Amino acid sequence: MESKKRLDILIKKSRADLYKPIAIAEILYRNRTNGLDITDKEQYRRQSYEWMRDVIWKLHRKTTQLNSRYWDQLFDSNVLPPAQLQELAECNIKYKGLVEVYIYAHVQGKYQAFTELRQQLSTIPTDSFSLDTFLGFFEDNAKYRGSVDKAYEIVVYALFNAIVDELQVKITLSADNTVTSLLREFEDFARLVLGIDSQHLSIEKPARLFRVGTANANDAGLDMWANFGPAVQVKHISLQQTQTIDICNGVRADQLIIVCETSDADAIQSVIIQMGLADKLRGVITKKDLDNWYIKCFQPQYHDTLGRKVLNSIIEEMKLEFPLSVSESFDTFFAERNYSYNILTDDWIAE
């Protein structure tokens, strides 16, 4: 069955939340229960995005933003156009929601694997953590490869934030004492926006980094920002010169740090200077740098302090990124739809 082969490819290539497969399930659900016309793509091309978002909220209590070009690719002739969807719909109706259950079984299965990985991280000794083993879970299995970019972002954030925290770095925000009259004039603004007033011309805060929830398929988006200055863009790819320029131009920040797999540092630096972007790009961090810093974090003198902070941060970020396991929200959703795994047999067993 050609349509099932295409659906399986879509499931394997999808990121953790399986946005597009869920949209297919929701189209088929409405076709089965409400008579949605599969042959008329305009009846679901845009609406399927909102149907998917509703399900993601029910299951994960998460929201998502995806660009329309990325979404429209779902219905391209080489993915799942109306003719292929119609074939799935006929099978789905004949076997009382079989394809819907098949898709949601994959959703639950993927998150259950993430939960098991998280539990392993919670119990292993800190000195036995391996960055390559953790990333390999995502890189070496086609089922989870679509989420490797998020895994990479998590390990970068966990490392950066733990080191900054362990260094006990403080940042100071202050106004010059020559502007006190102007400060009094705008005291409400200064207090609300800057956190200072005419009686307190400076404040001190711990240095922090924050992850930013970005849209999928937005390669120039911001991944992290620091309250002490630079923005951070994480790329799980080998960085090319043109990509560096696009990223620098695409992120509005005074300074930018790019984290990537590999890079031709000299060539990139030359192009950056030629383009007048040298002041904006603070530096390029590669996987080799991350490996070196991770090794240091888990050396005997640091693994119970700095190493533990890194590991705890990875666990917490995984909870936020991959929240669903075998949960009440999933059980409730299945009950509402009258879904049952018993319907899955033969080629329709979700592995």
Question: At 230, which CATH number?
Answer: 3.40.1350.10
Amino acid, single-letter form, for residue 317 = E
139 and 236 belong to one structural domain:
yes
72 and 8 belong to one structural domain:
yes
Amino acid, single-letter form, for residue 54 = D
46 and 16 belong to one structural domain:
yes
31 and 67 belong to one structural domain:
yes
- The 3-state DSSP class for residue 35 equals coil
143 and 269 belong to one structural domain:
yes
Q: What is the mean pLDDT of residues 279-295?
A: 89
Q: What is the mean pLDDT of residues 339-351?
A: 86
261, 288 Cβ separation under 8 angstroms: no
Partners of residue 133 on adjacent β-strands: none
pLDDT of residue 324: 58
Q: What is the mean pLDDT of residues 9-19?
A: 82
Residue 121 lies in a domain: no
In this prediction, residue 140 has a pLDDT band, given cuts at 50, 70 and 90, of: confident
pLDDT of residue 28: 95
Residue 119 lies in a domain: no
Residue 149 lies in a domain: yes
Residue 307 lies in a domain: no
Cα 253 to Cα 256: distance, rounded to the nearest angstrom: 7
Per-residue pLDDT of 48-104, as tens digits, reads 999 999 998 888 777 776 777 778 888 888 899 999 999 999 999 999 999 999 999
DSSP state of 310: H
**For all residues of the chain together, what is the average pLDDT?**
86
42, 75 Cβ separation under 8 angstroms: no
pLDDT of residue 17: 75
Cα 42 to Cα 26: distance, rounded to the nearest angstrom: 15
Among 275, 280, 234, residue whose Cα is nearest residue 256: 280
Give the β-pairing of 256-259 and 281-285: parallel
* Residue 202 parent element (H or E): strand 202-206
% of the chain beyond a pLDDT of 70: 93
Cα 69 to Cα 27: distance, rounded to the nearest angstrom: 19
Higher model confidence: residue 15 or residue 138?
A: 138
Residue 124 lies in a domain: no
183 and 270 belong to one structural domain:
no
In this prediction, residue 16 has a pLDDT band, given cuts at 50, 70 and 90, of: low
237 and 180 belong to one structural domain:
no
134 and 192 belong to one structural domain:
no
Structural domain tally of the chain? 3
153 and 199 belong to one structural domain:
no
Residue 336 lies in a domain: yes
Give the β-pairing of 224-226 and 209-211: antiparallel
156 and 237 belong to one structural domain:
yes
87, 3 Cβ separation under 8 angstroms: yes
142 and 285 belong to one structural domain:
yes
80, 7 Cβ separation under 8 angstroms: yes
pLDDT of residue 221: 54
**pTM above threshold 0.85:** no
34 and 179 belong to one structural domain:
no
What would the two tokens of residue 45 be? 């091309």
Which structural domain, as residue segments, surrounds residue 269? 130-169+207-297
Higher model confidence: residue 345 or residue 221?
A: 345
Q: Which residues contact 12 (CB under 8 A, 6 or more apart)?
A: 142, 143, 145, 146
Cα 187 to Cα 195: distance, rounded to the nearest angstrom: 10
Which range among 28-32, 271-275, 302-306 shows the weakest confidence by mean pLDDT?
271-275
pLDDT at 36 exceeding the cut of 90: yes
Q: How far is CA 235 from CA 2, 63, 156, 289, 309, in A?
A: 34, 22, 10, 14, 23
Cα 288 to Cα 275: distance, rounded to the nearest angstrom: 27
157, 317 Cβ separation under 8 angstroms: yes
What would the two tokens of residue 134 be? 């953790």
Residue 245 lies in a domain: yes
pLDDT at 214 exceeding the cut of 50: no
Residue 228 lies in a domain: yes
Alpha helices in the chain, H assignment, sequence order: 2-13, 19-34, 47-60, 68-72, 82-94, 98-123, 131-139, 148-166, 180-185, 187-189, 241-250, 265-274, 287-297, 306-321, 328-337
Per-residue pLDDT of 215-272, as tens digits, reads 444 444 568 888 888 888 888 777 777 777 777 776 667 788 888 887 777 777 777 7
